[in-house]
Amino acid sequence: MNNRIIIVGGGLAGLMSAIKAAEAGCGVDLFSLVPVRRSHSVCAQGGINGCVQPTREGDSPDEHFDDTVYGGDFLANQTPVRDMCHAAPAIIKLMDRMGVMFNRTPEGNLDFRAFGGAKYRRTAFSGATTGQQLLYALDEQVRRLEVEGKITKYEFWEFLGAVLDDDGTCRGISALDMRTMEVRTFPADAVIMAVGGPGVIFGKSTNSAINTGTAAASLYTQGVRYANGEFIQVHPTAIQGIDKLRLMSESARGEGGRIWTYRDGKPWYFLEEKYPAYGNLVPRDIATREIFHVCVDMKLGIEGKNQVYLDLTHIPAETLNRKLGGILEIYEKFAGEDPRKKPMKVFPGVHYSMGGIWVDYDQMTNVPGLFAAGECDYQYHGANRLGANALLSCIYSGMVAGPAAARFANGLHKAAEDSRDGCFDREKRRQQEIFSNIYRMNGSENPYRMANELGELMTENVTVVRYNDRLKATDEKLKELQERWRSLNVLDTSRGTANQAVQFVRQLKYMLEMARVITVGALLRNESRGAHYKPEFPERDDARFLKTTIADYAPSGPRISYQEVDLGYIKPRPRVYDVEKKVGTRKEGDQHER
């Protein structure tokens, strides 16, 4: 019998894992909350990095590697990052072969743009909807494999938990049919989680509505380790809205957009002034902190509000339409003004989680047979992600996870069916009990309002600037919310039909768990590195904290420990962007840890 692999998530990482696992001869069951074509990857605008033309401007895959490690403030394990940067050109070419409508040069070659934290143009793009175009190309290949009978899709199914046998090996999953509310278990020889990021924990963010981080959090409560949770990227430029923060891609600055506000009645281009080498293209954490500082501390926001200008008006409208059409549409549609004529108003917003499920270099978690890929893993971005590196890491990690899961399945002694040991029944009963308790919740509190409270608490205390006293208070508050969660009202007691309220009450429980992982991780990291900034500890402290944070679940709260970082290639050096980056010194003879 063919090995079966379950893949949870149909964003870039999940779809690429699915294609690779199918190519390796496995039968694939693909689960997703939404039709995979509507996954959050569709939102990515700016592009995907890869040094496709090494000779151009003196760029090379090693330069890309150095930018990524340096941009991530040396917290990423270097071996997988290096492998990714070297695989990047082939990935872009592969996506091109799949029919992605990348922008072209007059000669018909791929066109590249500049992105933050990079001095070279190595970002391939498809208008301003690159994520959409990449996702569709993979979705189409998966559809083809579906027709060939190699992949089966389960859309509108929510992953609930892993089925673990008595040895602690992953044998399958439990999942909820979102239309009938039925809980079922599914056996598999290996499982790959590609469930995306947790932005919704912060209430309003640039993420899609389903990005609650619940799937990763529920695994964490089953003993799956979570790494570097405190590293949350806040994107410098988002439009503020009631329901979400809509991203203005870094490509706006890549194409020449300028950030400014008024000082003494005159335009002040504060990024260009402070960081002459990179100007408006400093990495995200730096741009975010500067904008935050100018608005919150100096009170120089436009119209006295927390906002600055992102100005494109000096660029010809025709160029803007061709290169940035998609994001300008978003601005016009949601802010009601024409960014070709009037500078856009923006402020930082929670955007991406560098942290995620701990995985080894085969993308396997600490649970045998359980893999993770995409934004939900922690592997490629260290303390801060460079623009246009996420799409790359999602596709790349899928390319690693798919074959690795197939290899694991081949080496597995007992096929899933033979090893039931009651573990499927046990998992099903566990999940059914969780739901029957939720259906009975008739307390006084509203889950959606509690989620708002959580979002505000996290955004205020655990984003751009972090203070230990406030982090401590936040964790206390989170414990209180966990208590109050019990007195929620489920709002909708109907059974047997799409009950989103019941689903949300469950998700909220896990969002609170994950919020604590993020907060406690931040509290204990007494330094500043990448996206994590503490005024009380403004320096990077390599002696104590050049380490991966590991969170293990305990009912009373996360247990935090630290792990060495793989520094096999580039020696850590201070990260400064007011002068040109110095090329990293390669260390000789260092052992890489696996």
Ligand X SMILES: Cc1cc2nc3c(=O)[nH]c(=O)nc-3n(C[C@H](O)[C@H](O)[C@H](O)COP(=O)(O)OP(=O)(O)OC[C@H]3O[C@@H](n4cnc5c(N)ncnc54)[C@H](O)[C@@H]3O)c2cc1C
Name the one range near other proteins by CB under 8 A: 299-307, 488-496, 559-567, 575-583.
488-496
Under rule CB under 8 A, how many of the chain's residues touch other proteins? 69
Identity of residue 242: I
> 72 vs 196, which CB is nearer to ligand X?
196
Cα(78)–Cα(69) distance, rounded to whole angstroms? 7
Residue keyed to tokens 């993020």: 518
Identity of residue 213: G
CB closest to ligand X, residue no:
11
Cα(507)–Cα(510) distance, rounded to whole angstroms? 5
For residue 133, the partner it binds in other proteins, ligand X, none, with Cβ less than 5 to 8 A by kind, is: other proteins
The answer to whether 206 contacts ligand X (rule: CB under 6 A) is yes
Q: Of 178, 391, 404, 522, which one interacts with ligand X (CB under 6 A)?
A: 391
> 272 vs 332, which CB is nearer to other proteins?
332
The answer to whether 136 contacts ligand X (rule: CB under 6 A) is no
Among residues 223, 222, 246, 219, the alpha carbon closest in space to that of 235 is found at 246
> 498 vs 576, which CB is nearer to other proteins?
498
Cα(463)–Cα(456) distance, rounded to whole angstroms? 11
Cα(372)–Cα(181) distance, rounded to whole angstroms? 26
The answer to whether 486 contacts other proteins (rule: CB under 8 A) is no
- State which H helix or E strand residue 174 sits in: strand 170-177
For residue 32, the partner it binds in ligand X, other proteins, none, with Cβ less than 5 to 8 A by kind, is: ligand X
In degrees rounded to 5, what are phi and psi of residue 448? -70, -35
Name the one range near ligand X by CB under 6 A: 31-39, 61-69, 72-80, 429-437.
31-39
Residue 368 has which token pair?
């045998």
Cα(197)–Cα(206) distance, rounded to whole angstroms? 11
Under rule CB under 6 A, how many of the chain's residues touch ligand X? 46
The residues carrying an active-site annotation are 284
Cβ count near 536 (within 10 Å): 11
Name the one range near other proteins by CB under 8 A: 69-77, 226-234, 447-455, 508-516.
447-455
3-state secondary structure of 150: coil
Closest approach, Cβ 475 to ligand X, in A, equals 25
In degrees rounded to 5, what are phi and psi of residue 200? -65, -15
Asked if residue 348 lies in contact with residue 205, where contact means CB atoms within 8 angstroms, the answer is: no
The answer to whether 20 contacts other proteins (rule: CB under 8 A) is yes
| DSSP label at residue 294 | I
Identity of residue 316: P
Spell out the alpha helix ranges (H) of 40-129: 61-71, 78-97
Please provide the DSSP assignment of 82-142 as one string: HHHHHHHHHHHHHHHHTT----B-TTSSBPEEE-TT-SSEEEE-STT-HHHHHHHHHHHHH
For residue 501, the partner it binds in ligand X, other proteins, none, with Cβ less than 5 to 8 A by kind, is: other proteins
The answer to whether 500 contacts other proteins (rule: CB under 8 A) is yes
For residue 242, the partner it binds in other proteins, ligand X, none, with Cβ less than 5 to 8 A by kind, is: other proteins
For residue 498, the partner it binds in ligand X, other proteins, none, with Cβ less than 5 to 8 A by kind, is: other proteins
> 141 vs 280, which CB is nearer to other proteins?
141
Site for other proteins, residues 329 to 368, rule: CB under 8 A: 330, 333-334, 336
Closest approach, Cβ 123 to ligand X, in A, equals 8
Residue 282 has which token pair?
């400093």
Among residues 153, 29, 81, 148, the alpha carbon closest in space to that of 409 is found at 29
> 37 vs 470, which CB is nearer to ligand X?
37
Name the one range near ligand X by CB under 6 A: 274-282, 364-372, 390-398, 453-461.
390-398
Identity of residue 245: L
3-state helix vs strand vs coil in the chain, percent to 5: 40, 20, 40
Q: Of 13, 51, 383, 457, which one interacts with ligand X (CB under 6 A)?
A: 13
Closest approach, Cβ 541 to ligand X, in A, equals 28
Cα(352)–Cα(310) distance, rounded to whole angstroms? 21
In degrees rounded to 5, what are phi and psi of residue 239? -85, 135
Binding site for ligand X (CB under 6 A): 8-14, 31-34, 36, 39-41, 43-48, 130-131, 158-159, 194-197, 206-207, 210, 214-215, 247, 249, 351-352, 374-376, 388-391, 394
Binding site for other proteins (CB under 8 A): 16, 19-20, 23, 34-35, 37-40, 42-43, 90, 93-94, 96-99, 101-109, 126-127, 129, 132-133, 136-137, 140-141, 143-144, 146-147, 179, 208-210, 241-244, 246, 326, 330, 333-334, 336, 399, 446, 448-449, 452, 491-492, 494, 496-501
